Amino acid sequence: MLAGMTLFCALTCFTARSDQALKRPFDGFNVIVSPGHPFGGSSATLALTKAKLLGARAAAIVPFLWQSDPSNPDLVRGRDMNDDELRAAIRTTHDIGLSVLIKPHVWVPGSWAGAVAMKSEQAWANWFANYRHEVLRIAHIADEEKADALVIGTELDGTVQRPEWDGLIVDARGIYSGRLLYVAHSVEEAEKVPFWAKLDNVGVSLYPPLGTDCDRDGWGVMMRDVADRLDTLAAQTGKSVIVGEVGLRSARGAAEKPWESPEERAARPDPAIQAEVLSDWLSILNRPAISGVLVWRWFTDPDAGGMDDTDFTVQGKPAERVLKCDWTRSCHDSGVASH
């Protein structure tokens, strides 16, 4: 791959765009707590400030819920962020001048949220009772701290046809007065969600397979198809779309499986591929139906990432310049090392 040439394109191709990107209120990052860098502390505040300097307007704060396997109904709150830490996260993020989305994720060791499915009606009743308890607890904090949006579920593909969602949405509306949305795990799931009419936005994560690292034209075909389908969904529902997650690792081969983690496959660093893919996504998602693009991810450790890192974070990598160029229309060097 001609990394230098393609990265140059990634950093310069924004100049001909319209100002639509400047009007998306929920452009920003999914922010994850790093060990030793809690929200409210000086290092997390510095990390969030750096995100804002890139032009981020919003941060999705991610408290984790946990269950031991996909069919276990005994879901509980994770240990990553207690109620006081969630309050500190909202306050710190607001103080910096970013909008706040609260975006709970279900963590299933060795699996993922989309695999959650119970084996009996009683198990479904128990799972939703536990899930409702935790989400409404978070909703109380989101309302009291005036979070700008609350995600009532993230990528729970195996649950969305269940009737319990209707009651959960009503209960959440009774507690939280802000914007409610659900984040589907793909455009395919988003097209099947039956309760968009009860929410304020369509939400979706975007990790479709793009092909080989060198097939940039092929990526574009896939991305445009996804974005066109989101346009159609927005028209059908009357709701604008918030892309709750988009991203990929800064690693060789990442375009083929953008969802793949470093734990799933070892690979050599390739910061250019991450910058190029994000550049193309931002360009293609620059359309009126999209009201925000939240990149996965940004850590509360201000020194996270770097050119040798192969994880999803964009910190300390050329992708920072891509985001700044798109979000601020200022394409000057942000100080990140070149690839």
pLDDT, tens only, 265-304: 999 999 999 999 999 999 999 999 999 999 999 999 999 9
Length in residues, the chain: 339
Which residues, including other chains, have CB under 8 Å from residue 337's CB and lie 6 or more apart? 307, 316
Are 6 and 319 spatial neighbours (Cβ–Cβ below 8 Å)? no
Compare 13 and 209 and report the one with higher pLDDT: 209
pLDDT at 302: 98
Q: Which fold has domain 20-328?
A: TIM Barrel (3.20.20)
Are 123 and 71 spatial neighbours (Cβ–Cβ below 8 Å)? yes
Are 122 and 154 spatial neighbours (Cβ–Cβ below 8 Å)? no
Q: Where are the domains of the chain?
A: 20-328
Q: Strand 201-206 to strand 241-246: parallel, antiparallel, or no bridges (unpaired)?
A: parallel
pLDDT, tens only, 304-316: 999 999 999 999 9
Question: Which one, of 167, 40, 21, 19, lies nearest residue 93 by Cα?
Answer: 40
Which strand ranges, in their side-by-side order, compose the sheet holding 105-107? Answer: 76-77, 64-66, 105-107
pLDDT, tens only, 74-111: 999 999 999 999 999 999 999 999 999 999 999 999 99
pLDDT at 333: 57
Band (22; pLDDT cuts 50, 70, 90): very low
pLDDT at 21: 44
The pTM of the whole model exceeds 0.75: yes
pLDDT at 325: 95
pLDDT, tens only, 26-84: 999 999 999 999 999 999 999 999 999 999 999 999 999 999 999 999 999 999 999 99
pLDDT at 281: 98
pLDDT, tens only, 115-133: 999 999 999 999 999 999 9
Please report, rounded to a whole number, the percentage of residues in the chain having pLDDT higher than 90. 89
Q: What is the mean pLDDT of the chain?
A: 92
Q: What is the mean pLDDT of residues 325-337?
A: 72
pLDDT, tens only, 154-196: 999 999 999 999 999 999 999 999 999 999 999 999 999 999 9
Residue 7 pLDDT > 80: no
pLDDT at 254: 97
Phi, psi of 323 (to 5 degrees): -65, -45
Residue 77, token pair as written in the block: 């709150």
